[in-house]
Chains A and B, each alone.
Chain A
Amino acid sequence: MAPKRKTVVISDSDEDVPPPKQKNSPQKKSKSSASSSAPASSFSYKDYLQRPGPESLGSKSIPEGAPGCLSGLTLVFTGELDNVGRDSAVEAAKRYGAKVTAAPSGKTSYVILGREPGPKKLQTIQDKGLKTLDEDGFCNLIATTSPSQDPSYLNKVKKDEAKVKKDAEEMEAIEKEQKAKDKRSSKASSFESTSPNSQLWTVKYAPTQLKDICGNKGQVEKILNWLQNWQHQLQAGFPSDNSKNDIKSKRALLVHGAPGIGKTTAAHLAAKIAGFSPLELNASDVRSKKLIENTTNIDNTSIDSFFGSNSETHPLNHSTCLIFDECDGMSSGDRGGVGAMNTLIRKTRIPIICICNDKANPKMRPFQSTCGDIVFRRPEATQVRSRIMSILHREKMKLDPVVVDQLVSGSQSDIRQVINMISTWKLLSSSMNFDQGKELVQQNQKFTIQTPWTVMSNLFSPHMFGATSTSTLGSKADYYFHDHSLIPLFVQENYVKCNPAKARDSNNEKAEFKRMKYASKAADAISDGDLVDSMIHGSQQQWGLMPLHAMNSTVRPASFMYGGFKSFGRDTISFPMWLGQYSKTNKNIRALGEIQAKMRVKVSGDRDEIRQYYYPTLWPRMFNPLTESVPDIDSVINLLDNYMLSKDDFDVMSELGVGDLALEKTVKCIPTKNKTAFTRNYNNRDHPIAFSRGQVIKPSAAQIKAEVPDHEDVLDDEDDNVVDVKEEEDDENDDVTADKLVKQPKKPAASKRGKASASRGKGSK
């Protein structure tokens, strides 16, 4: 529900009332609506946001009405409709042509009241004396009303139609003119002589004037301005005026924004209007470093060679504007293309416009410093609608404005996609109703990756698993696949913070209990999920289990705990702690392992025992002497040396404690003076080292394979030989490698031990 959407339909009353305050729809958590809870003291906005779904859904259905029977009416829905569900009611209202607004105003024809309506809306209803309907009344309205005959409404419709017609005629005129031009020019070249019928609609109805571009007016103007000033700036040497969004001092522009909203069109149009001849390089041209360097002469005295035989049709001069389209589409074939392009931009003598979808793409980084930045935003449905309507008129198709709105919002304001969808639809029929439109949008839905935060707030939203929810199990599981490694962690991190919708309908204590119960169930599901996860990522690699993992780790916990997060404070969705904690754990365990290895000379305990029992005992002996005013540094150093621990280990030890021995409570208490004295003292002495790091023993895979069987068979001979070799070693101490029976990969260790044992043997003799 886009709050600002206006339909062609307006209400019949012309009362002089202030326009409705733009208020976000109830699903969105906005502060402005939070403050609206003031009049009703018992009403809490938080509860309102998390109100439960309808109770007896499906017990009644919305009747079929005459098409357009509600047109001209402005409806406001408030509260939950128990029998039909609010979402489907709103959809029905739109289908029959009503305008649905979020807040009631003087222009509202009816307010449909459900259970637990918003208090502010009730207030407005009273103040304005609006007509209200309950659920049944609404159904009756649909069933009985016939299309509006109200003259002012009809007038408005007529006006709109007339405007569309006029636009269409204008387009036709321009097209004719174009055709005439084409005919003239087609004598000169065979280029561009394609008949309009074989053209794509997106080409056929591409904007030819600046005012035809839907939305982004400011940005287009900026481009135009920049182009018009370009020659002047070139002569001045592009002086920088140090302002932040200073695009005038740049030799090139980087235009970025979502696909299908007219970036390329705008660039071309602006170039034409500013008197440049646009020259487009797009993803279908090879744009490697070599080609760009070789073919585009940096001085831009001639780029003609770039086009070889085509050079005549594209006369290049100083009035060329290079449009470098689809920058982020530079693939591996275009190695170095971005870099070369960037050098070109630094020296160029013609304006360059780079176009990409995603500026954050690492490939686009070089451009950020050299190019001026222009963002194209998705146009609003209202901005696109009239254009689409006139195209429809030209194509003699009849579509309801409501349907067009739906197409536009369904494709996320991708104008190109809408036009393509319609042109495909034209092949089937020349009209489309509401449901068909909905289906078409669904078929053409683009799958965009959502951030984990969006996924979480959607998945745990108060209506996700409610009876009214229209999303299927599959679509819920899809949330997991937005990022299958991160989403489960997010769920685990945040499920506890939800206020489960399921536990709301009971009194305080029972609700508390239910909340805990559901949290426990969700935790169980997550625990199940982890078992599945270890089968996926463990040694078995059973990736086929991912849907099961999706269910267990994501959907099930959400099904227990759904009910919405608070949008502020401690209960917001946070990044999973698990990742940080996991690496911290590993780091500490590794360090502890090192300590254990060193202490092993004196102490037989394993890693866990060192931590659990030795550590608490060692701790006071290590750190207490340092906290005193006259630190007993010697005793600490002796202790460390005794256990072969180093200064690094000392630091690790200080971090391992919890509770009373935690870092904050202990080491922070050691005066800095003592710490420096300790460090100085420690560095001035020699310390025993338990062992030095061993060399890398590197058995190559081939050797392992070759030697293993061999060794099993000839075991007995080998045993005798090994002894011989050892004795030789004692005398010669070299050339063990020559003896193939000594395992080469193990040479360093073997020879070392051989020597060691031999020398010790002597000693003992």
Chain B
Amino acid sequence: MATLRELFGPGVEKLKIDQRVFLTPSNRKLDVNIVQSNYHIEITPSDVGQYDRLIIQDILKEIAQTQQVDANAKQRFKVVIINEADQLSRDAQAALRRTMEKYMSNLRIILCAQTTSKIIAPIRSRCLLVRIPAPLPPQMSTVLTQVAKKEKFQLPEDVAKQIGKESTGNLRKALLVLEAMRMQSPSFDSNVQIAKPDWQSYTIQVAKEITSDPSPDGLLKVRGKIYELITHCIPPTLILKTLLDVILTMVDDSIRADLIYWAAFYEHRMRKGSKQIFHLEAFIAKVMSIHKAFMCGFEDFE
């Protein structure tokens, strides 16, 4: 956003949201939310899953064909921001390739992605790669203290540090945690607990159950809770990651390597398969079985 403001002036802050309906060739309706200002347009094509190619093609062409009308505008081009570019399907990415270069005079594309590994090589070669590292904990705590100053309350330094550490480089998370904590206990006592989001504490509970009752019955109970998480929009991959993080702290060193291996194994399967819970459950069963074997001192058989 800051870059855009430099380019175009304050006009970019005037956002409007548009929900457009596209019809696929197979006559399915797709709702796409488009955030735009006069100078830029922001889309998240991965929202529509496998139809993202269509959105990319339609919207980009449409924008590419309209030039900037305002003669006073600082730049002659519009900017398209594509969010979650790493979630784009192969087809959509392929559709981007040529368009990116062809409409150069009218538009610039900014792809935002969490990782470049899922972006196909032809696109990577056409882009200037800018890696934005997550802020370091000291930087985060500086920001937090500044915010606290602006909001006119005292933030003890150790709390700021702790939040910075807990939020693993996610500044947004850190700020939100800070706000939540501020609401819960305005005074920030020294022994205050870092507030964990609801889903995280719930997942930690599940992890505890997994290690304490590794049996088919326990698996059945855990399954219900996992469903609860998934239905409330917590992505299964995140559940797996959180579970692993917590479980690793609870088990013996000797089986940790195994657990990490299997977590990676099933996460890969989750992305390839269609019913993610199946793989998540297989992972949990595997963890239980490894953990059980360790606790009882049995060697693996077969």
Contact = CB atoms under 8 A, between A and B. Distances in A.
A613 B170 contact: yes
Contact of B274 (A530, A581, A619): A530
A116 to B, nearest CB: 25
A750 B38 CA distance: 13
Interface in A576-608: 577-578, 581, 584-585, 588-589, 592-593, 597-598, 600-601, 604-608
Given A519-B219, A722-B66, A764-B70, A589 B16 contact: no
Interface stretch (A185-193, A460-468, A626-634, A694-702): A694-702
Nearest to B112: A606
Most buried by B among A592, A621, A746, A765: A746
Interface stretch (B129-137, B156-164, B191-199): B191-199
A11 to B, nearest CB: 46
A93 B197 CA distance: 68
B282 A527 contact: yes
Interface in A499-553: 509-510, 512-513, 515-517, 519-520, 522-524, 526-527, 529-531, 533-534, 537-539
Contacts of B66: 722, 726, 750, 753-754
A127 interface: no
B17 A658 contact: no
A617 interface: yes
B180 interface: yes
Interface string B268-300: 010011110111011011101100110010101
A610 B106 CA distance: 33
A551 to B, nearest CB: 16
Contacts of B72: 764-765
A1 interface: no
A747 B62 CA distance: 11
A523 B285 contact: yes
Contacts of B105: 719
B20 A697 contact: yes
B228 interface: yes
B15 interface: yes
Interface in B175-198: 176-177, 179-180, 183-184, 195, 197-198
Given A530-B274, A534-B272, A658-B228, A694 B21 contact: yes
Most buried by A among B72, B199, B201: B199
Given A516-B288, A517-B301, A600-B35, A691 B19 contact: yes
Nearest to A605: B172
A519 B216 contact: yes
A520 B286 contact: yes
B293 A659 contact: no
A722 B65 contact: yes
A617 B231 CA distance: 20
A757 B69 CA distance: 7
B180 A615 contact: no
B84 interface: yes
Given A597-B19, A609-B172, A616 B70 contact: no
B205 interface: yes
Contacts of A537: 274
Interface in B200-239: 201-202, 205, 214-217, 219-220, 223-224, 227-235, 238
Given A598-B17, A616-B180, A515 B272 contact: no
B266 interface: yes
Contacts of A513: 289, 292-293, 296, 298
B83 interface: yes
B19 A693 contact: yes
A761 interface: yes
Most buried by A among B35, B65, B234, B269: B65
Contacts of A516: 214-216, 285, 288-289, 292
Contacts of B38: 757, 760
Interface stretch (B22-30, B116-124, B145-153, B253-261): B22-30
B105 to A, nearest CB: 8
B245 interface: no
B62 A750 contact: yes
Interface in B45-75: 47, 50, 58, 61-62, 65-67, 69-70, 72
How many B residues are at the interface, by size bracket?
35 or more
Interface string A730-765: 000000000000010010011001100110110011
Interface residues of A, number: 94
A659 B205 contact: yes
B33 A597 contact: yes
Contacts of B234: 611-612, 658
B101 interface: no
Given A612-B199, A690-B17, A620 B231 contact: no
Given A520-B286, A612-B234, A578 B277 contact: yes
A510 B84 CA distance: 48
A515 B298 CA distance: 13
A592 B16 CA distance: 19
B44 interface: yes
Contacts of B230: 581, 585
Contacts of A577: 223-224, 227
B233 A589 contact: yes
A469 B172 CA distance: 61
A608 B242 CA distance: 15
B173 interface: yes
Contacts of A533: 273-275
B19 A694 contact: yes
A154 interface: no
Contacts of A64: none
Interface string A250-261: 000000000000
A457 B30 CA distance: 43
Interface string A194-206: 0000000000000
Interface in B1-31: 1, 11, 15-23, 25, 29, 31
Contacts of A605: 172
A749 B66 CA distance: 12
A711 B219 CA distance: 57
Nearest to A611: B233
Given A613-B170, A701-B25, A519 B274 contact: no
Given A597-B19, A598-B17, A658-B228, A520 B285 contact: yes
Nearest to B225: A658
A198 to B, nearest CB: 58
B227 A581 contact: yes
Interface in A663-693: 690-693
A602 to B, nearest CB: 9
A614 interface: yes
A492 interface: yes
A693 B292 CA distance: 54
A727 B275 CA distance: 52
Contact of A746 (B15, B62, B176, B199): B62
Contact of B67 (A657, A711, A719): A719
Given A510-B296, A513-B289, A723-B69, 12 more contacts: A523-B284, A526-B281, A533-B273, A600-B15, A613-B172, A616-B180, A659-B201, A694-B18, A697-B21, A704-B25, A711-B61, A719-B105
Interface of B: 1, 11, 15-23, 25, 29, 31, 33, 35, 38, 44, 47, 50, 58, 61-62, 65-67, 69-70, 72, 83-84, 102, 105-106, 170, 172-173, 176-177, 179-180, 183-184, 195, 197-199, 201-202, 205, 214-217, 219-220, 223-224, 227-235, 238, 266, 269, 272-275, 277-279, 281-282, 284-286, 288-289, 292-293, 296, 298, 300-301
- Return the 9 tightest CB-CB contacts between A and B, nearest first: A659-B202, A520-B289, A523-B282, A520-B285, A694-B20, A527-B282, A616-B197, A523-B285, A597-B33
24 contacts: A510-B298, A513-B292, A513-B296, A516-B215, A516-B288, A519-B288, A527-B269, A527-B281, A530-B273, A534-B274, A601-B35, A607-B47, A612-B173, A613-B170, A613-B176, A656-B232, A657-B232, A694-B20, A698-B23, A701-B25, A722-B67, A726-B69, A727-B69, A754-B69
